[in-house]
Each structure stands twice: as structure tokens, then as C-alpha cells.
Amino acid sequence: MADLLRKPFGTHGKVHEITPVSAGWRYVGFSLYRLRAGETVGEATGANEVILVLVEGKARLTAAGQDFGLMGERMDVFEKTAPHCLYVPNGEAWEAVAETELTLAVCAAPGQGGHKARRIGPEGISLTQRGTGANTRFINNIAMENEDYADSLLVTEVFTPSGNWSSYPSHRHDEDDFPRMTYLEETYYHRLNPAQGYGLQRVYTEDGTLDEVMAVKNHDVVLVPRGHHPCGVPYGYEMYYLNVMAGPLRKWRFENDPDHDWIWQRDNAK
């Protein structure tokens, strides 16, 4: 079985640390801190650029020699308000001092020094609907390709209502063949509401050499090295996930699973 489902180390401190080495790939890194008020964390970015996402809570942030002050607003991710985020280039350092209980995501990928440290959101991030019927979900685009915020990173949030599916119809982005497709590694950081719930995520290739179905719980991370990767949530629960993608080209081009592409064709013909 592929080691695609990563459980948190615990409930406090640094509870996830996924690197290209530990994931067995080349580009994406993801870490998660769960802190108490008054606690401080910080890191040097090294060869990576990072986007700090304040998933929940408030913190005072400094980065690249600048004081960005108090950031953060939503105290529960399922408020679905726009997140406060901070971009930090490679070759710099950042520090966060938790003002409240804090869930802080650190999204990382190789940097080329093409951008300066800056706030991202909440201005300019608006919750938008994608899909129809039981495929309806809601998106907060943090740093996708239309926003020139980063050298490598693509970052977005997705809220999937009770009983619905997302990252669906099944699609893949695992070939470096722009403009047809781009090679993008991807992580999914999952949250469930109520917290005792679960979701399902399948990661599979069309030839069947990779085919894993995982029950994901609150704070789990799923790695998507290749293949299709739909997920769903049972009735009675809603799902959030934070996506981090990166590859050799900062573009998101994908192809649907041919078996299920008819759904996309039907829905987009309306």
C-alpha cells in the first residue's frame, strides 16, 4: 500500500511535516502547527518560498525583516470567510506569535526570488461556487495561477457540503506536457465538521498501478503524487481541505478520467 495518508503527530505543536524527501517527490512541502495563545514558532525558508495560511486563529507575523502585525480573523475554518495569508520568499525567515489558539499551515515549494514578502487576503479572496448538484463545492482561491503571488506555489481552499463530492469528476495533472497538462504534486489537508466525521479520498491511475481509497479524518493529510484524486463526504458532515500544488511550471492544466469525463461535458454544456 502506498504511504499516501499521513496522520498528525499529535494535537499540539508541529503536527505535520511533509517534505519532498519524506513524500518521495520533488516540489511540494507542507507543515502544520497547532499552537496555544502566547506560543511562538518560526522557520528559515531556505531554498523554498512559503505561503503561511492562518487556517484558524490570530497571530502577529514578521517575515523577511518586516512586521506584518496582527493577522487572522476566522476562529473556525467552517465560518468559510476568506483566510489571512502571508507570502515569504526563499532565503528569508518568518516568525508567528499566536495571539489566540492558532492553526497555521506552511505551504512550501522551490523559490526563485521572483517575489517579495507580502500579505495575501482576505481582500481579493471571495468564496465561489464550483460544480452542480451533489458535485457542488465552494472555493477560496489563495494563490492560483491568475494571481502572480509566487514562483512555484499554487494554493487554494475548498469547502464540500454534506453528502457531496469534490475534485470531481476525477482528474489528473501528472505529466509535464503544457499546454495539455502540467505536472503538479499535491497535498490535501483535511478538516471535518463536526470534527468526529470522516471523508473518503481515492488516488488512482487509469492503468490500476496505483489505486488507494482512504478514510480521512480531522487534520489528516493526503499525498497525491500522480493519478486521479476525487474525494467525498458523507451526509451529516462537511469537509474542508487546503490544497498545495507545485511542479516545474506554475500552471494548472489537467485531464479528466475518460470514464467520467461525460459528467464534466454535460455540466459544462449548460
Domain boundaries, the chain: 5-254
d(CA 51, CA 63) in angstroms, rounded, equals: 11
- Domain 5-254 homologous superfamily, CATH: Jelly Rolls (2.60.120.10)
Grid cell of 167 as nine digits: 475534485
The secondary element (H helix, E strand) that includes residue 21 is: helix 20-23
pTM for the full predicted model = 0.96
Q: Please report the pLDDT score of residue 202 as a whole number.
A: 98
Phi-psi region of 59 (alpha: psi -120 to 50; beta: other; left: phi over 0): beta
pLDDT at residue 2, rounded to an integer: 67
Phi (first) and psi of residue 243, to 5 degrees: -95, 135
- According to the model, what pLDDT value does residue 1 have? 44
**Paired strand residues for 160:** 239
Confidence tier at 178 by pLDDT (50, 70, 90): very high
pLDDT in tens, 181-208: 999 999 999 999 999 999 999 999 999 9
Q: What is the dihedral of CA 210, 231, 182, 26, to 10 degrees?
A: -60
**How far, CA to CA in Å, does 237 sit from each of 127, 204, 219, 269?**
19, 24, 15, 30
Average pLDDT value for the chain: 96
DSSP 59-116: EEEEETTEEEEEE---SSGGG-PPPEEEEE-TT-EEEEEESSSEEEEEEEEE--S-S-
Share of the chain above pLDDT 90, in %: 96
| Of residues 104, 184, 116, the one with CA closest to residue 148 | 116
- More confident position, 196 or 270: 196
Q: Could you report the per-residue pLDDT of 78-97, keeping only the tens digit for each? A: 999 999 999 999 999 999 99
Q: Give the tens place of pLDDT for each residue, 137-167.
A: 999 999 999 989 999 999 999 999 999 999 9
Chain segment 241-260, per-residue pLDDT in tens = 999 999 999 999 999 999 99
User: Minimal CA–CA distance to 63: which of 39, 41, 82, 36?
Assistant: 41
Q: Say what the pLDDT of residue 116 is.
A: 96
Span 258-270, average pLDDT? 87
- Residue 53: what are its φ and ψ, rounded to 5°? -115, 120
pLDDT at 269: 74
pLDDT in tens, 31-81: 999 999 999 999 999 999 999 999 999 999 999 999 999 999 999 999 999
Residue 267 scores a pLDDT above 90: no
> What pLDDT sits at residue 270?
57
